[in-house]
């Protein structure tokens, strides 16, 4: 299972929308289609795809499903189940994403979870999943980590 933002996609170009007060989540997500891929994350996903089915769990809202599927396809990532936060869900990522992953795990074995958010990784570990912390975008920018924890994503 792979996360998207900060794991497969480089979100740094759109963080400026979260540095404002109030945060501009609409602009932040609208710019996601322009994210460059993170080579290390994409390579790891393709490596896992050679032996396993991939799935994606993201804190992105459901309304971005089409753009997200298009991004995955445009960057050569294999099809896989895509679990997204329901529109309007403002819970912290460390709460919302493990819930999505548990739903996925009901129907299959989850071999490994790859995510950049250390609080989400900790929550996945507590839930019993094997985790790889995606640290290749450098440290998760503080503004994104704080926004995910305090406001969730809308």
List, for residues 56-103, the tens digit of each pLDDT value: 999 999 999 999 999 999 999 999 999 999 999 989 999 999 999 999
pLDDT at 154: 39
pLDDT at 20: 85
pLDDT at 75: 97
Query: Is 3.40.50.1000 the CATH number for 12-151?
Result: yes
Prediction pTM value: 0.87
Q: What is the pLDDT of residues 20-44, one digit of tens each?
A: 889 898 999 999 999 999 999 999 9
Which pairs count as long-range contacts for 75-78, CB under 8 Å and 24+ apart, including other chains?
Answer: 75/8, 75/37, 75/42, 76/42, 76/46, 77/8, 77/42, 77/45, 77/46, 77/49, 78/45, 78/46, 78/49, 78/54
151 SS3 class = helix
């Amino acid at each position: 299972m792979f996360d998207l933002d900060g794991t497969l996609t480089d979100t740094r170009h759109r963080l400026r929308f979260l540095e404002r007060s109030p945060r501009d989540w609409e602009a932040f997500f609208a710019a996601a289609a322009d994210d460059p891929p993170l080579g290390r994350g994409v390579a790891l996903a393709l490596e896992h795809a050679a032996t396993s089915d991939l799935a994606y769990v993201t804190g992105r809202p459901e309304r971005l499903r089409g753009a997200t599927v298009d991004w995955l396809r445009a960057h050569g990532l294999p099809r896989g189940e895509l679990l997204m936060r329901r529109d309007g869900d403002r819970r912290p990522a460390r709460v919302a994403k493990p819930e999505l992953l548990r739903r996925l795990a009901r129907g299959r074995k989850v071999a490994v979870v790859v995510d950049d958010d250390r609080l989400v990784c900790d929550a996945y570990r507590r839930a019993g999943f094997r985790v790889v912390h995606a640290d290749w975008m450098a440290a998760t920018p503080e503004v994104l980590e704080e926004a995910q924890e305090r406001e969730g994503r809308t």
